[in-house]
């Protein structure tokens, strides 16, 4: 099978977060070649392509950055290997090719955006969340060509620092390291209680200890824990930070980065119904997915308030792995499905 040009061009240009400039230019030029009426780089550094000039708007938002770790692209037995093939240049290229394959749709403006910085603080998505107010939106992430993702968990990060005065190792006094371990054990125990009876991972709180270091200066010793947590819909970041503060008491707490609440899109919308019909028309058996990670959906969903869905080819189990790869047959099927969705939604 011939490698789709849009997909290969994006995957061939390594673009970890913070270094997306060259691949953004590649995508803008590719969209111009494919007949997008306008294609440009916006103020945040996102690649933007626009088809049509109608009064209604459907926005296809993918991300063009990847995690670090370059994987030289290669094609073997109909499989494209390369960083971003799954997360998420495959879904983004699928959006570009599906939109270009249809051309301008009467009464509609189709906007395709390759957003920067999704793997860090979603600066690209935060920019477009303020700038656009679409009638419908599709976020590009790997769901598998037969499935539609409707929700992502929230996320929050914090640094917790435990301090103790220096004491002799024979004194029997609790060290900062021991106190840090005790703090983590309290958090883990609380999470176990919170999750009791919650069957789905999407409904559970999932804390992880992502960093642990310690030191001393001759007078004081300290231990610093870097804690991440995936949040269910009924535990927004503010409530989590309040609970964390209660659990750790007088220990220092510093929220880190941008926290995001969980977000779940509605099932019974014209957009989702169009996906189900298009997947069936392509010979698939559609299903729904709720992810335990976080995506740009969490940023734009609350801001736009329109019908949304997440779709794209690829197995999300391969996200961020050294074996990241995408079936070209699956990619082709996803382009057909997405084209069918655009026809249905924009033909209403």
Contact by Cβ (8 Å): 282, 337: yes
Identify whether 217 is a catalytic site residue: no
Q: What is the largest CA-CA distance in the chain?
A: 80
Candidate list 87, 97, 117, 118, residue with the active-site label: 118
Contact by Cβ (8 Å): 86, 314: yes
Contact by Cβ (8 Å): 261, 298: yes
CA distance linking residue 273 with residue 276, whole number of Å: 5
β-strands 308-311, 287-291 pairing: unpaired
Backbone angles phi, psi at 70, to 5 degrees: -70, 135
Identify whether 65 is a catalytic site residue: yes
Backbone angles phi, psi at 158, to 5 degrees: -155, 150
CA angle 337-340-346, nearest 5°? 140
Alpha helices in 34-88 (DSSP H): none
CA angle 262-266-272, nearest 5°? 125
Query: SS3 for 296?
Result: coil
Crossing angle of helices 5-12/21-33, nearest 10°?
170
Q: Which residues are catalytic?
A: 65, 118
């Amino acid at each position: 099978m011939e490698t789709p040009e849009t997909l290969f061009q994006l995957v061939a240009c390594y673009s970890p977060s913070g270094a997306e400039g060259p691949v953004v230019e590649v995508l803008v030029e590719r969209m111009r070649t494919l007949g997008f009426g306008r294609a440009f780089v916006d103020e945040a550094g996102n690649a933007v392509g626009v088809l049509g000039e109608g009064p209604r708007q459907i926005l296809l938002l993918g991300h063009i950055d990847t995690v670090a770790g370059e994987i030289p692209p290669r094609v073997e037995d109909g499989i494209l290997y390369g960083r971003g093939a799954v997360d998420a240049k495959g879904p983004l290229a699928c959006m570009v090719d599906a939109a270009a394959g249809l051309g301008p749709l009467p009464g509609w403006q189709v906007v395709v955006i390759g957003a920067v910085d999704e793997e860090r603080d979603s600066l690209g998505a935060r920019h477009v969340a303020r700038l656009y107010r679409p009638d419908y939106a599709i976020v590009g992430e790997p769901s598998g060509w037969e499935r539609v993702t409707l929700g992502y968990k929230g996320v929050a990060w914090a640094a917790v620092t435990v301090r103790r005065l220096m004491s002799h190792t024979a004194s029997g006094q609790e060290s900062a390291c021991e106190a840090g371990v005790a703090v983590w054990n309290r958090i883990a125990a609380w999470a176990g209680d919170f999750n009791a009876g919650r069957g789905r991972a999407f409904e559970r709180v999932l804390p992880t200890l992502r960093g642990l270091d310690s030191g001393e200066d001759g007078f004081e010793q300290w231990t610093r824990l870097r804690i991440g947590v995936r949040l269910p819909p009924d535990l927004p970041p503010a409530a989590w930070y309040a609970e964390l503060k209660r659990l750790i008491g007088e220990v220092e707490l510093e929220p880190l980065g941008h926290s995001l609440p969980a977000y779940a899109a509605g099932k019974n919308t014209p957009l989702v119904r169009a996906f189900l019909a298009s997947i069936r028309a392509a010979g698939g058996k559609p299903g729904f997915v709720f992810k335990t990670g976080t995506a740009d959906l969490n940023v734009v969903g609350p801001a736009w308030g329109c019908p949304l869905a997440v779709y794209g080819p690829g197995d999300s189990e391969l996200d961020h792995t050294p074996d990241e790869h995408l079936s070209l047959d699956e990619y082709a099927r996803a382009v057909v499905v997405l084209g069918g969705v655009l026809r249905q939604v924009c033909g209403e």
